[in-house]
Amino acid sequence: MAKPRITIAVDIGGTFTDLEFRDASTGAAHSLKSPTTPDDPARGLTDAIALAGARFGFTTADIGLILHGTTIATNAVLTRDLPPGALITTAGFEDVLEIGRHARSDIYALRGPDRTPLIPRRHRFGAPGRIGAAGEVVRDIDLPMLDAVIEQVATSGAQTTAICLLNAFANPAHEIAIRDRLLARCPDMAVSCSHQVSPEIREFERTATTVLNALLVPVIARYVTALRARLIEAEITAPVYLIQSNGGAIGLDAAVQAPVKLLLSGPSGGVLAAQKLAQMLDTPDVVGVDMGGTSYDVAVVAGGERTIVTQGEIDGLPVRVPMVEMHTIGAGGGSIAFVDPSGRLQVGPRSAGAVPGPVCYGRGGVEPTVTDVNLILGRLDAATFLGGRFALDLDGARAALRDRIETPLSLTPDHAAAGILAVVNAKLAASIKFSLFAKGLDPRDFALMSFGGAGGLHACEVADELGITQVIFPRDPSTFSAHGILSSDIQHDLSRTEILPLTPGSLPAINAIADSLRSQGGALLDADHLPDDKRVLNLTADLRYRGQAFELMVAVPDGAITDVTLTTLRERFEDQHRQRFSFDDPAEAVEIVTLRLIAIGILEQGARPAAYAPSETAAQNHRPVHMDGAWHVTPVHRQLALAVGETLSGPAIIEQEYTTLLLPAAWTLTMTVSGDMTVRKRV
């Protein structure tokens, strides 16, 4: 039997399911988009694979690996479509979720925003017993009292339970005892323990993360069950891995146990792809922006490296797991334009999604979206959208714009449509400013790397607003996140908190923790059946000046940790501190707060991609396009007809099968040897 040759990456978004695959026998890579099926996303995945196989000539037996990014966890949190849950915590700490942190997003507000905890007060239970900060048992568990608490949980109607005890990161014995007793009483209960989900300090963040994980376990378990059934039905036997928020892959069973790690599953693939392309094009400082149908994701690659943070946020909820640093707003091709009660034109964050989708999709949408406006202004062609297989309804889009925007605001069609684009472009530029200014970075020092199905129509105009003079369009921008997923490796993140001074006296304790983490990482890679030559173990340390309430993550040099290692760690920490905060303090003591291990299993992903060569000879066309306040008869080019080194001067439209790029006047595009396009503003 021939060795499977096809590696597939699938990114299921809110509107489209993106697929990219690589043929190991030739290095050829191909991409495909098909509509997402919100009622059953797993069906959309197998439908996309079947469509790709029929189109490009492979069978399910040829598939060796499937890497899958998904928004299932994210959407469940955003919509609060979560099962009823319970929380067992140390008695007296039942209200940690509600108290939160005394951080004020609006410092001038007279009262804070309303926050409804994911688990109501009646389902938060205090357990007897107490663990001290050093891991010592302060008070043993009172078993009769614990049994009473467990009986309350069992009769509460909860389908899942989070167990998060005070100082469990230092000693998980009580969490384990409560878990075992709860499962003996409720064997079908989904249970998440904080010492497994987030074994780190800070009670609010650890509790919130554990609760999110617990509530997502049934959601992801249902999806994985449905996915496996769909794969069996489609006769697909290849192993499947889900993509985590850190950009690494994880097996289906492991994902069910740690679903909180999937919250940035799809977007993390785009950041990984942006980092790799920035390095290949020798453009180390880029802002990667992914504009799909629903959202606009912004990530900074500085010095050729993406940033991994140990804590993020989803819809105002803290999540303390490693993830790519990203800022997301609700602005995409499906974002709905409307007039608010004060008479102002607004765009998003509501989206038409995949169903019904923009009005021009002809699926029942009635509210105008960004995609409708781009069609009305000639930037999209109704006849060539999605390679001509999805005809767009221009008249329907015009009618929706007239009824919802033009008439209420007494605007002409051109002014209404152009106004919507001006509003959305300003929102996109503001989100990029937010991401860069927070790091003390100047947009003018960066290139803008634009991808996603809708990004190419806005990138140059957004760059203009920011003073950015270089834009990069990847070879297949519409499926670029799937392209990044295609190069993902298995990754396990482990951590352990123990606050220690960064001095030689701490070396025995530091090395003991490091050895324990390496052993755990090795065991996880053993379970993934990774050979020794496909393993990488990277150690990092969260460091801070004594008394600080925040840490910086610093890479630990390879090998045993020695006095020299400690000196290197301090130097690296102070370099980062100066870069981030413009000062350091050599006289102040430095502490290690948490040691982390990244255990990487390198996956076989086939031959290198084939070199770019034009594959079309389509003649140049023209059509009227509205830009810069007027209509212009604009040349329309096919991307796959452009030769390496060929240049185009704007205004121009460049069409691909799944997306369209707008090149305004004063911008020049050059096709690179890799098939990626660089665009520069003419001075």
Mean pLDDT of 628-649: 93
615 located within any domain: no
Q: Do 187 and 292 belong together in one domain? A: no
**pLDDT of residue 328 exceeding 90:** no
Residue 104's pLDDT is 72
**What are the tokens at 91?**
């008695």
Q: How many residues comprise the chain?
A: 683
Closest CA to 287 of 266, 307, 302, 309: 302
Helix axes 41-56, 203-233, angle to 10 degrees: 50
CA-to-CA separations, 455 to 293, 448, 458, 627, in angstroms, rounded: 10, 11, 6, 16
**CA distance linking residue 154 with residue 145, whole number of Å:** 14
Residue 416's pLDDT is 96
120 located within any domain: yes
pLDDT per residue as tens digits for the range 292-323: 888 888 999 999 988 888 888 877 788 999 89
Residue 641 DSSP class:
G
Q: Do 555 and 507 belong together in one domain? A: yes
Mean pLDDT of 668-677: 94
CB burial of 551-568 (b: ≥16 within 10 Å; e: otherwise) equals bbbbebeeeebeeebbeb
Q: Do 195 and 103 belong together in one domain? A: yes
Residue 534's pLDDT is 93
Residue 634's pLDDT is 96
**CA distance linking residue 435 with residue 326, whole number of Å:** 8
**CA distance linking residue 332 with residue 350, whole number of Å:** 10
**Strands 667-671 vs 652-655: parallel, antiparallel or unpaired:** unpaired
565 located within any domain: yes
Q: Do 578 and 440 belong together in one domain? A: no
CA-to-CA separations, 257 to 46, 193, 196, 314, 323, in angstroms, rounded: 24, 10, 9, 19, 17
Please answer whether residues 543 and 591 qualify as being in contact, where contact means their C-beta atoms are separated by less than 8 angstroms.
yes
For the chain, the domain total comes to: 5
**What are the tokens at 131?**
């663990």
446 located within any domain: yes
Please answer whether residues 271 and 481 qualify as being in contact, where contact means their C-beta atoms are separated by less than 8 angstroms.
no
Residue 312's pLDDT is 85
Total-model pTM: 0.86
**pLDDT of residue 607 exceeding 70:** no
Please answer whether residues 2 and 585 qualify as being in contact, where contact means their C-beta atoms are separated by less than 8 angstroms.
no
Q: Do 232 and 161 belong together in one domain? A: no
Type and span of the H or E element at 287: strand 286-291
**CA distance linking residue 408 with residue 189, whole number of Å:** 53
Residue 35: strand pairing partners:
16
**CA distance linking residue 289 with residue 461, whole number of Å:** 13
**pLDDT of residue 222 exceeding 80:** yes
The domain in which residue 664 lies consists of 621-681
**CA distance linking residue 631 with residue 637, whole number of Å:** 18
**What are the tokens at 480?**
């670029």
**CA distance linking residue 244 with residue 599, whole number of Å:** 14
96 located within any domain: yes
Q: Do 456 and 383 belong together in one domain? A: yes
Closest CA to 463 of 425, 437, 435: 425
Domain containing 548 — which CATH number?
A: 3.30.1490
Closest CA to 69 of 300, 273, 354: 273
Query: Pick from 567, 601, 635: which residue ends a domain?
Result: 601
> How much of the chain exceeds pLDDT 90, in percent?
71
**CA distance linking residue 77 with residue 217, whole number of Å:** 12
**CA distance linking residue 14 with residue 355, whole number of Å:** 9
**C-alpha 188, offset from chain centre:** 31
612 located within any domain: no
Please state whether the peptide bond connecting residue 356 to the residue before it is cis, i.e. omega within 30 degrees of 0.
yes
Q: Do 106 and 156 belong together in one domain? A: yes
CA-to-CA separations, 28 to 1, 6, 47, in angstroms, rounded: 22, 10, 21
CA-to-CA separations, 78 to 35, 316, 568, in angstroms, rounded: 21, 10, 42
Type of residue found at 622 = H
Q: Do 35 and 99 belong together in one domain? A: no
**pLDDT of residue 609 exceeding 70:** no
Q: Do 459 and 567 belong together in one domain? A: no
Q: Give the least confident one: 22-36, 138-152, 547-561, 581-595.
A: 22-36
Phi, psi of 367 (to 5 degrees): -105, 130
Please answer whether residues 671 and 679 qualify as being in contact, where contact means their C-beta atoms are separated by less than 8 angstroms.
no
Q: What is the 3-state secondary structure (H, E, C) of 151-211?
A: HHHHCCCCCEEEEECCCCCCCCHHHHHHHHHHHHHCCCCEEEEHHHHCCCCCHHHHHHHHH
**pLDDT of residue 2 exceeding 60:** no
Please answer whether residues 248 and 489 qualify as being in contact, where contact means their C-beta atoms are separated by less than 8 angstroms.
yes
Higher pLDDT, 384 or 570: 570
**pLDDT of residue 230 exceeding 90:** yes
Give strand ranges (E) for 40-174. Answer: 63-70, 85-90, 124-127, 130-131, 137-139, 160-164
CA-to-CA separations, 506 to 498, 500, 560, 570, 571, in angstroms, rounded: 11, 6, 13, 14, 18
Q: Do 34 and 106 belong together in one domain? A: no
Residue with tokens 């554990």: 210
pLDDT per residue as tens digits for the range 191-221: 999 999 999 999 999 999 999 999 999 999 9
**CA distance linking residue 525 with residue 457, whole number of Å:** 43
Query: Pick from 451, 466, 481: which residue ends a domain?
Result: 466
pLDDT per residue as tens digits for the range 231-247: 999 999 999 999 999 99
Residue 191: strand pairing partners:
161
485 located within any domain: no
Domain containing 56 — which CATH number?
A: 3.30.420.40
Instruction: Report the chain's C-alpha Rg in angstroms.
Output: 26
Q: Do 455 and 520 belong together in one domain? A: no
Q: Do 552 and 578 belong together in one domain? A: yes
442 located within any domain: yes
**pLDDT of residue 391 exceeding 90:** no
Residues 6+ apart with CB under 8 A from 532: none
pLDDT per residue as tens digits for the range 418-468: 999 999 999 999 999 999 988 888 999 999 999 988 999 999 999 999 999
**pLDDT of residue 1 exceeding 50:** no
